[in-house]
Chains A and B, each alone.
Chain A
Amino acid sequence: MKINLHDILKRDFGFTSFRPGQEEILRHLFANQNTLAILPTGGGKTLLYQMYGAVTHQRVVIVSPLISLMFDQVSRLQYLGSKRVVALTSALDFQEKAIILSRLNQYQFIYVSPEMLANEQVFQKIKSLKIGLFVVDEAHCISEWGPDFRPDYLNLGKVRQNLGRPLTLMMTATATDVVKADIINHMNFDSADVQQVVLPVNRPNIFLSAKVLANQQEKDRELIDLVSKLHGPGIIYFSSKSKAEEAAVNLAVKTGRQVMAYHGGMDNQTRFHIQQQFMDGNLDIVCATSAFGMGIDKDDIRFVIHYHLPANIQSYVQEIGRCGRDQKPSLAVLLYEPNDRYLQMNLIANTIPERNILKYLFQHPKALTNDDQFRVVKYYHDNGYSLDQTMGIFEHSRQRRITELGAMVQYVYQDGCRRDDLLKYFNERVSATLKNKEFCCDHDIDFWNNWQSFNEKYLNQSLKSAKSKPKSWQEVIDKLFLLKN
């Protein structure tokens, strides 16, 4: 079958050109080749399987790890024009699940969490359908060496086999060589059988900077200063919902800008309003938690500030990747004060169960049945690991996280090129000749004494922010409904 991908892209999706890597991946898929794609955040992963489904009219099953992410993806797919989309997650109640399963053959795009796929009833239902493409999103979750290890991902190789080995696309935004090898291995592929399309992690249009402050008060002052003056829409990341909310109120009062918090603890309607306002350019800045990403594309985000340190370099690269998707100059700022490290250390301590809890759970495995937080423990218990072995795995995981956090802190104190430091984790290098020293990181230029002129020179005001909003109820209803006569 000869397919003109560019024509379809234009006709069905309204885009004039592919983003880097997209065409190559699609060509592999249309040649029936299993593919591992490492595409940066915002690289257009959704379009890949949507286009495959649109051209072949076949069913696509997408394994995705997070409920919030899945809902965002369903929403995005609907936005891009596919309406036969459904998500099978633990958020469904019994009735919803039963109805969806009974009508599953009506859907072309089926999102499913790995835990749902482990459910025999769900698996059998999916197995009874003809699957054109099996997509493993956030495939790095399969690797015990990756930061987001999800034990249920380890079953996906077996699941794929039991589904009759459908054509498979494995995708992630960032993966080290070890993680890439793990993905291929756990999915039961030989590396020779898998086409790999690896796009550079480097985003040359994002300027990298970090600043060490003496304490939180100083950090708050710096944040207010930056937010008051930096142009364009921006995201500020926090490690807690309460801090994100507190900062949003404080920043709105002190900077006069339109700032709102945005996190998973908010009710759906509030979150939807904020999301729409941000998309429409009516909000300047969103204070978000790192655990809750924006699933919706906004191309013109000019800056990402980290008020709190992320847990590792991979997460950092993903989060700063949300700015500058329009390829225009953008800015990543990491603000750090020494206590931030302990905040992350506490988070690590809280996510690794203590020995006495593990011991109790191994003695009372019924307690593991439905508790989400013990899913990892359950996996090891059910797969015959002893208490000591499991304890050893958790200890190993704790050590790894501490090492990763150490690397993140090292990035803050880095006195060489920040870009080189970030990229070395992905075995990537930018040659000296290709590097733009004027626009790389705060090692090469005196950014912190000149950030205001940097702001004026590089960060363009978004055109969207100038829109006037209808205010009175009459104006609103006139605006909402375009009447034909």
Chain B
Amino acid sequence: MELSILLLIFGSPTQFRRVKAIKNTLRGRRTVSNLYWALQYGMLDFVDSLHGVSFEEDSAALKQLKNDGLVETDDDFRFRLTSKGVKKQLDFQSQLLPLKNLAVGSRYDVAKFMHRFTFAVQIVSEYSYSNNKYYPQSINYFEDQLLKRWFIQNKRHQLPQQFHDLLNDFLSGLGDNQLADAFTQSLVGHDFSGLTGEQVAAAEHTHATIVQLQWLQLYGMLLQELLKLPKDNPLLQLTFGLDKPVVAKSAEETFDLFVKQGSGDFKTIAQQRGIKLTTVYEHLLEMAIMSPINAFPYQSLIAPDLWKRLADNSPEDVGEWSFADASKVFPHLAFFEFRLFQIYRSKLADEN
């Protein structure tokens, strides 16, 4: 995908945003630093939504946007949208569904669902024509086995009619024929070979990246529809095993131990979990970032007087407050406490 397009979509005219942080958030690199910036940019819902996607070099993408007058940059590989950039952002957004439909990819493996669903369509389409002589679009061993079993178990359940009805309801419900057409071109079946993202983009005079995002959004929507189906519906089986944890399991385990222990003895937690002390801090910060503000015990991790002094001395834009600057005021400040304070204030600001 073209990184420059995603930077425009997730850029801001008021806030300088880091290219790497946006890219790594979408790709699901769950470092505390990335998650922290995702929080600052309102992108927590999009963590890992473009898992496995490859992008071009950061500097090349930024250079192109700058040359086109769409962004302004500072020295830090950060950028802010110009008015021309905002216009372009609106243009892209108008071609997409609301962005929340891309966020489905943060909780479910939508790309895998897309492959699975298109393969299922091919199998059912050929079956409806009683044709078993075709080239199957193999995915990988496990997915192929899953679909094979699914088909054998369910073929007596009038699958062609069910797929036709499902797609008819889903696509007519979109109320947007252009998007519905783009969706059906992602399919392959009996005597129908569909189009590649590039081909759809050429026909619609847009970018292949926009078409790929449209597909991910549409398949994300479709996945959510399927998840609502009753348990005995054969189409529900196509959603099995696609959910992704919002926080890393390891971070959750550290946090659970911390809550259970209640004393804040991090060294013991590190020993019990067999991890480094710094990893304990990272896990707790990840949990703070990814949890609702009331679900994390901020107050028990920062002493009340330090809390007050931080609040009294913090700048208006607390998110961009650097640890180096804060340390000048509070020479004994620990990074962990500093970051927790920032997370709390950012979450509070978001809630208000």
Contacts and interface: CB of A to CB of B under 8 A. Distances in A.
Interface of A: 14, 71, 74-76, 78-81, 86, 92, 95-96, 99-100, 260, 268-270, 272-277, 279-280, 282, 296, 469-474, 476-484
B180 A272 contact: no
B240 interface: no
B234 interface: no
B121 A480 contact: yes
A482 B190 contact: yes
11 contacts: A78-B135, A78-B136, A79-B133, A79-B135, A269-B118, A270-B198, A277-B195, A476-B181, A480-B128, A482-B129, A484-B160
Contacts of A472: 177, 181
Given A269-B137, A272-B137, A274-B196, A483 B177 contact: no
A481 B124 contact: yes
A470 B184 CA distance: 10
A480 B129 CA distance: 9
B181 A471 contact: yes
B196 A260 contact: yes
Interface centre among A71, A99, A470, A473, by most chain B C-beta atoms within 10 angstroms, is: A473
A258 to B, nearest CB: 9
B140 A476 contact: no
Contacts, number: 117
Interface in B158-208: 160-161, 163-164, 167-168, 171, 177, 180-181, 183-199
B161 A100 contact: no
B181 A473 contact: yes
B138 A71 contact: yes
A79 B126 CA distance: 12
Interface of B: 115, 118, 121, 124-125, 128-129, 132-142, 160-161, 163-164, 167-168, 171, 177, 180-181, 183-199
B125 A480 contact: yes
Contacts of B160: 481-484
A77 to B, nearest CB: 11
Contact of B196 (A79, A270, A476, A478): A270
Nearest to A467: B191
Nearest to B121: A480
A116 to B, nearest CB: 14
A211 to B, nearest CB: 31
B135 A275 contact: yes
A482 B130 CA distance: 9
Contacts of B161: 481, 483
Contacts of A479: 189-192
A78 B133 CA distance: 8
Contacts of A75: 135-136, 138
Nearest to B132: A81
Contact of B193 (A96, A282, A474, A483): A282
B192 A268 contact: no
Given A473-B180, A476-B192, 19 more contacts: A79-B133, A79-B135, A100-B141, A269-B115, A270-B198, A272-B137, A279-B193, A280-B193, A472-B181, A473-B167, A473-B183, A477-B163, A477-B164, A477-B168, A477-B184, A480-B189, A481-B161, A482-B190, A483-B160
B177 A473 contact: yes
A244 to B, nearest CB: 14
B132 A480 contact: no
A74 B133 CA distance: 13
B16 to A, nearest CB: 33
Contact of A96 (B132, B137, B142, B199): B142
B178 to A, nearest CB: 10
B313 to A, nearest CB: 51
A96 B141 contact: yes
A234 B138 CA distance: 26
Q: What 5 A-B pairs come out closest when comparing CB atoms? A: A276-B193, A476-B184, A473-B180, A481-B160, A480-B189
A480 B185 CA distance: 11
Given A472-B181, A482-B160, A272 B188 contact: yes
A260 B196 CA distance: 10
Contact of A480 (B135, B177, B187): B187
A204 to B, nearest CB: 30
B141 A470 contact: no
A268 B139 contact: yes
Interface centre among A260, A279, A482, by most chain B C-beta atoms within 10 angstroms, is: A482
A74 B138 contact: yes
A481 B164 contact: yes
Contacts of B133: 14, 79-81
Contacts of B191: 280, 479
A95 B199 CA distance: 36
A410 B183 CA distance: 51
A220 to B, nearest CB: 21
A480 B118 CA distance: 12
Contacts of B138: 71, 74-75
Interface centre among B128, B167, B190, B193, by most chain A C-beta atoms within 10 angstroms, is: B193
A71 B135 CA distance: 11
B24 to A, nearest CB: 21
Nearest to A87: B141
A90 to B, nearest CB: 13
Contact of A476 (B128, B187, B199): B187
A481 B177 contact: no
Contacts of B167: 473, 477
A359 to B, nearest CB: 34
Contacts of A76: 135
B188 to A, nearest CB: 6
A81 B196 CA distance: 27
A296 B135 contact: yes
B164 A273 contact: no
B176 to A, nearest CB: 10
A273 B168 contact: no
A92 B192 contact: no
A54 B53 CA distance: 42
B199 to A, nearest CB: 8
A243 B307 CA distance: 60
Interface centre among B129, B184, B186, by most chain A C-beta atoms within 10 angstroms, is: B184
A282 B185 CA distance: 13
Nearest to A485: B161
A273 B124 contact: no
B195 A273 contact: yes
A482 B121 CA distance: 12
A96 B144 CA distance: 11
B247 to A, nearest CB: 24
A14 B192 CA distance: 23
A277 B193 contact: yes
Nearest to A283: B193
B135 A473 contact: no
A100 B141 CA distance: 8
Contacts of B181: 471-473, 476
Contacts of A279: 135, 193
A329 to B, nearest CB: 27
Given A270-B196, A276-B193, A481 B128 contact: yes
Contacts of A469: 192
Nearest to A470: B192
